[in-house]
Amino acid sequence: MATGTGEAAPGKAKATRRTPEEVRELLLGAARALFAARGFAGASTRDIALKAGVSEALLFRHFGTKAKLFERAILDPINEFVHAYVEEWRNRSTADHDAESVTRAYIDGFYRLLSEHRELVMALVTAQAYESLQEVSDASPLSHLLEELESLAGAEAAARGFHFDVHVATRVAMGMVMGMALLDEWLFQPGRRKPSRQRIVDEMVAFMVHGLAHRDEAVPPATTG
């Protein structure tokens, strides 16, 4: 079949052999798109491989099972973000930045990431609830990331003299961002205008910075003015 037309595509397939990293990325990209659109149960490994342009056997060789592929598709971007964030801020002296910049960098980045992968994260939440995802090794996929964030938050709090329940506060902060990003359609009336991304981020930052920094101060009972 592949005869005649000189520089036809079939000849190039071998010449530009893809590296394992490229194959992995192609598969992850296809997996993200299909899991987001159809959920865990609705997306087949056959369709994912087809969309990625690789064989199903190669998919299994790279990821082992469908559940593992699913997990990597969702968790890799989140892991990368949190590691990079913690790495960057852990090495800075707290004297060089204020509480707002370290908080804003987290909220802004995490909210952006979760909004971008909203359907995919929802697919994991619901798959854990209703589909037997026992093959997924990690029932609590964010827990090691939360430990890293907790140690960063603890160091910041100690350096700045803030007093709060670091273990719970780290979860509350992450929960707030997840709630705003994932429940988007529930919280804002469809078809109506929605506050801009900037307003949403600013409000979460304000809650977090002022909510963590001033625990020892009294709350004014009434307006003085």
Partner 1 sequence: VRRLLLESARATFAAKGYAGSSTREIAEQAGVSEALLFRHFGTKAQLFQRAILDPFNEFVNGYLEDWREHLSSSVESVEPEVPSRNYVAGLYDLLREHRELIMALVAAHAYEVGVAGNGEGGMLSGALDRLEEVVEAEVSRRGFTGVDIPVAIRATFGMVMAMAVLDDWLFPPGRRRPGRDRIVNEMVAFMVHGLAHRPPGDEVVIPAGAEDASEVVALPS
Residue from 92, 147, 158, 159 touching partner 1 (CB under 8 A): that is 147
- In the region spanning residues 68 to 97, those forming contacts with partner 1, defined by CB under 8 A, are none
Q: ∠ at Cα 70 (46, 30), nearest 5°?
A: 50
Nearest approach, Cβ of residue 158 and partner 1 (Å)? 18
Q: Where are the beta strands (DSSP E) in 80-159?
A: none
Touching partner 1, residues 154-173 (CB under 8 A): 164-165, 167-169, 171-172
Residues 6-65 that bind partner 1 (CB under 8 A): 38-39, 42
Instruction: Classify 65 in phi/psi space as left (phi over 0), alpha (psi -120 to 50) or beta.
Output: beta
Per-residue interface string for the shown chain with partner 1, residues 174-193, x marking contact by CB under 8 A: xxx-xxx-xxxxxxxxxxxx
Q: How far apart are CA 211 and CA 41, in angstroms?
A: 41
Q: Which two tokens stand for residue 71?
A: 């997990």
Three-class DSSP category at 23: helix
Q: Does 142 bind partner 1 (CB under 8 A)?
A: yes
- Per CB under 8 A, contacts with partner 1 among 115-134 are 119, 122-123, 125-126, 128-130
Contact present, 11 and 2 (Cβ < 8 Å)? yes
CB of 154 to partner 1, least distance (A): 14
